[in-house]
Structure 1
Amino acid sequence: MPELPEVETVRRGLAPSMEGAVIERLQLNRPDLRFPFPAGLQARVEGKTIASLGRRAKYLLIELDDGAVIVSHLGMSGSFRIEDDVPGIFHHPRGKDEKHDHVVFHLRTPEGARRVLYNDPRRFGFLDFIAPGDRDAYPAFAGLGPEPTGNSLRADYLAERFAGKAQPLKSALLDQKVIAGLGNIYVCEALWRSHLSPERKAGTLVTPEGRPRTELELLTQSIREVIADAIAAGGSSLKDYRQADGSLGYFQHSFSVYGREGEMCRTQDCGCTIGRIVQAGRSTFYCAACQR
């Protein structure tokens, strides 16, 4: 499933083509994806201008000029691509089987007509609608933690959430109420960078006074850095993920532990191999020698 860096990469790829465009027609080629499309969706959005493209955790937000928001989740195999009648930077060839083009945004822009297509072979993604003024009450956003980008994630905040917890560190980091949008791949990578075991109890990173230990400071920094590095690389091309222009993400070539079971650890002078365990039904990759 695409994680936060992949969704952020898609947002950045779509924004130049979609922001400021008028939705002349919303073409729905089937009645549903993972869920049925909201009743009257087309009438609610056609004729509206796209004010901006945003993101919350792993959700793409198409924000309209009347305050409404179209919410998109890519699921396991969803992707957007841009088609333009005028050759140029936003003109890209088809990269998917068009029988899976389930949603088409027909846009009017100063440069001419443009289509943005949502393709989803497995149909685990969805499209939803938030009426003007209802964004804060949207169920998927309720209780989400801070984003793991920039300075919005702080070590003292994590100390508050981890204090007294015997929960394994990997599980604590995957809790979306603790950190929004942080997924399995990047948790594994951040734990390796900070030399922390995924099985370590979260509470051991907090002092008796409730302050973050040095290890938690390093972990917080590692989370922010691995997410920033992944966004800069265009995400990770696992399974069906593609960027909005159809190209691949390349962060997977920089994985230090994820998917590298049995390979040598990349920590200098380590000499040990990467192992794999299963935590809450999900694979965790780590170096037992380096990560304590």
Structure 2
Amino acid sequence: MTVSGISNLQAEIARQIVALSAEEQWAPGERVSDVALAKKLGVSRSPVRAALALLAGRGLLAHEPGRGFVLARLPSGEDEMNGVAPPSEIEDLYMRVMADRAGGALADEVSEAELAERYGATRGAVRKVLMRFAAEGLARRLRGHGWAFTESLDTDEAVAESYQFRLVVECGALRQPGFRVDPEQLANVRAQQEAVLRAPPASIRRDHWFRVNALFHETLVGWSRNRFLVQAVRQQNNLRRMTEYADFDKLSAARIHDACAEHIAILDALADGDVDFAEALLRRHIERASRDLAGED
């Protein structure tokens, strides 16, 4: 199966490589190792090499004698990324199912045959998408060919309760006796937030924004050294994934900018050892996000 003459696997790996380059802050001229990427992505080197060649052919990578592939530049936006490596059949189907589930168009329980007919896809493609949902904690397999979606934030009441829960868990995490900031992690998370601030609004992709945003909140709670609090925030991030993927197009560039600025202020307060101020900023950040989503002034 191909998309615009590019194999689905090739397109999927190419997009994953670009996502990694943004998340890990690769610099122009940095060497891109097919061995390291194959290990990180859990695939063989052959499809990685094919994806690297694709990105080089589109000007995002360059091939230098004696060094191999190096980063030339990143895509200027989602439109260019789609031109370089269109979403694979699986990625496209994943997004369609995600949007329909977030919008309440899909029941709590579905069958592979039902989804295959609805989306005009093969049963194999549907199964791969559902397995991805399961890996993300968004669905579970039933006996036979049935699947059940996990609880999602599909009502205003559920969303409000989620924000109240996050206030308790995330702010409480900063007060745990074992709370300790990891300077290296703080620097990495801060660099990601700064990169989003610097990026042209059109270049910010929904998958990258979700990962950067979720990682910030997970990292803060992780510094509590409390495994149960970490599990709780990860579950909330999984629940948020559907609604935030579906609502990304409604999110203004100004709100993304403000969210990153607020994240950085919280990190700076923690770097200074001012946990009280950091907690107050985090509480205001979560409460503001809740009001914005509810459309309140």
Q: TM-score, normalised by structure 2?
A: 0.28
Question: Which structure has greater strand proportion?
Answer: 1
